[in-house]
Amino acid sequence: MNQAWPTTPFAHLSPEHDYVVVQAFRDFDGTEHPVGENWTFIGSSFLPYDDGLSLFAMINGQRRQVRMQWRDEEQGPIIDNLGAYLQPKK
């Protein structure tokens, strides 16, 4: 895996901070992110071509790239309300 993933914050997500999924969602690849899934956010990148947003995180102990598409018919509503899906871990 690429060790040089971006460390760019996104919305309320800050690199090296811990978050928990509080509302389940599916990413662009169809992977389910269930309630209780733990994330340590690494960073993000946006590719204007195809409105591609990648969120990089340690998820339950594994480095992962979560691909999303910022379109209404895809994950756009999730991205627009990301705080309702991922909240800071207490």
The DSSP line for 19-86 is EEESS-EE-TT--EE-TT-EEEEEEEEEETGGGEEEEEEEETTEEEEEEEE-STTTTHHHHHTGGGTE
Residue with tokens 């204007």: 48
- Extract the residue ranges of the chain whose pLDDT is less than 50: 1
Task: List domains and CATH numbers for the chain.
Answer: 18-88 (2.30.30.350)
Kindly report the pTM of this predicted structure.
0.92
The whole-number pLDDT of residue 5 equals 83
The whole-number pLDDT of residue 62 equals 94
The whole-number pLDDT of residue 1 equals 42
Cβ-Cβ contacts under 8 Å for 13 (sequence gap 6 or more): 19, 41, 44, 55, 82, 86
The whole-number pLDDT of residue 3 equals 63
pLDDT digits (tens, 9 = 90+) for 4-29: 888 999 999 999 999 999 999 999 99
Amino acid identity of residue 52, one-letter, is G
